[in-house]
Structure 1
Amino acid sequence: MPSHVGTADHILSSPPARADGVALFLDMDGVLAPLAPTPDAVRPVARRTAVLKALETRLEGRVAIVSGRTIAEIDRIADGAMTSASGVHGLERRRRDGSIERGAADKGVARALEAFNAFAAERPGMIVEDKGVAAGLHYRQAPDQAAAAEVLARRLSDETGLTLQPGHMVLELKTPGATKGTALTAFMREPPFQGAAPVMLGDDVTDEDGFRAAAALGGYGVLVGPGRPTAARYRLEDVDAVLTWLEAVVEA
């Protein structure tokens, strides 16, 4: 059952900082990195890179970044510190051995990109992101366009069959069939993750699939940010709290 957080009578506590027998799955934006006005504004940070490298060693490889960003973007922001990674909400996945599997792009993605670009051309501040298997429309710098962007994205989803994936000030239309939950589950079938208890850290609705998948496999989710109804069992306040907790995991 989802836990309802953020109310006076039900606040989720911080997760235990134990490492033995645990596998970590970490979202990027809002979890490992603060949200920024544009996707490119998020850059490598020495503290983050150091803790990710330390986690790889401490957990014997049982750690992966699971993000809506592409694997190429994950590598840029994490400064190449993470071997296992999943991008575009499960549509890309790099295994521990370095091999990569990618879903084929639905033909509707090209149509979505064309429509998003036309929409953005008339509205300053809108940013269109081509992820190959998905199209993103960012409105963080044009918040007054949120309603119009959502109407467009929902119409395109209905017409193309693409999955609409809302995020923090972004709407994505992606090739159907994969989620952060399916990525986590796939990792858990493979070494070195097999047999561990999965722990998923995420901040928005795109991470709920990961929280549920972790719970189904004997682990749990950790919500990052303000309390809200969630399938997560624990909560951390912000990115700094996440990095502090990860450092404690390394030392535990």
Structure 2
Amino acid sequence: MRAMAHSETLSPAPALSPLAPPPRLALDRIALFLDFDGTLAEIVPTPDEARLDAALGLTLARLSERLDGRLAILSGRDVKTLARLTGLPGLPMAGVHGLERRRAGGRLQRPAPAGGMEGARMRLNDLVAREPGLLLEDKGLSLALHYRGAPGLASVAHSRARLVAEQFGLALQTGKMVIELRQPGADKGMALNAFMAEPPFAGALPWMLGDDDTDESAFAAAVAAGGGAVRIGPARAGTAATHGLADVPQVARWLEELAR
């Protein structure tokens, strides 16, 4: 094999073509599932800073009414926090990546915390105390280790979180500058399918909007059920999404058009 000359350089990988924007959908035929952070609200330095624009909150309320209740939030956040952030406590919601689920009738399904959660919590609190810039978000059923405030600690956060997850038998979930330890047994795709098996969602075509790897299971579930999936942000190789929107403002405009 010929050795590469010093003057030769590797060609950059070809840019991915952006996904086409979603069409205007017939509201009498669909169910709508929405991620929160990065989809309905901008990504912010710390979880407590997230805000839902008031106009978008009104749009969601209007859309839910027009969809006869077939609108749900699927998020990594817990249901209690989602209700506070959206100002829409009556919406069906799945929290902690599907571990919690508030059904359309208002009943909350939530498993008991896994046995290893307390030990993992102690280990990760010790890590955060030693490494300024790391932040631990405790959701009860999961522990999210954020390194947005210290990007240089990404490898430390991932390696330590992986060791703790293995030690205490927890599932590992990666996201945008966050790594999350949670008890196994659920994901957003499973939550979407659970909603679709119940009124008022049953019989509709599901559409899922999300921005992160944690949404991929719900993308796949929506497409498999005959609906569609919209990835928010730059194109990504290997996504199950069928359509794309650039950012949170584009999501807000698209939802507003649907609600008219």
Q: TM-score range by the shorter chain?
A: over 0.9
- Whole-angstrom distance in 2 between the partners of 1:207 and 1:34: 16
Question: SS state of the match for residue 94, structure 2?
Answer: strand
**How far is 1:57 from its partner?**
0.9
The verdict on how the C-alpha distance between 1:128 and 1:22 changes in structure 2, with shifts beyond 3 A counting, is: same
Contact 1:153 1:173 in 2 (8 A): yes
Question: SS state of the match for residue 207, structure 2?
Answer: strand
**Uncovered stretches (5+) of structure 1, i.e. residues with no partner:** 1-5
- Whole-angstrom distance in 2 between the partners of 1:37 and 1:241: 21
**Uncovered stretches (5+) of structure 2, i.e. residues with no partner:** 1-12
- Whole-angstrom distance in 2 between the partners of 1:143 and 1:8: 25
**How far is 1:142 from its partner?**
1.1
Matched residue, 2:20: 13
RCO greater where, 1 or 2, for CA within 8 Å and sep 6 or more?
1
**How far is 1:125 from its partner?**
2.0
Contact 2:90 2:106 in 1 (8 A): no
Which of the residues 23, 34, 38 maps onto 2:31?
23
The verdict on how the C-alpha distance between 1:134 and 1:9 changes in structure 2, with shifts beyond 3 A counting, is: closer
Root-mean-square deviation (CA), in Å? 1.4
**How far is 1:131 from its partner?**
0.9
Contact 1:53 1:82 in 2 (8 A): no
Matched residue, 2:183: 175
The verdict on how the C-alpha distance between 1:146 and 1:243 changes in structure 2, with shifts beyond 3 A counting, is: same
TM-score normalized by the length of structure 1 = 0.94
Question: SS state of the match for residue 89, structure 1?
Answer: helix
Q: Structure 2 counterpart of 1:31, which letter?
A: T
- Whole-angstrom distance in 2 between the partners of 1:82 and 1:188: 18
Matched residue, 1:65: 73
Which of the residues 219, 230, 233 maps onto 1:225?
233
TM-score normalized by the length of structure 2 = 0.91
1:28-74 deviation digits (Å, cap 9, x = unpaired): 00000000000000124211211111111111100000000001111
1:67-103 deviation digits (Å, cap 9, x = unpaired): 0000111111101265100000000000111000012
Pair 1:249 & 2:254 matched: no
Give percent identity, aligned residues only.
Answer: 48
Q: Structure 2 counterpart of 1:245, which letter?
A: W
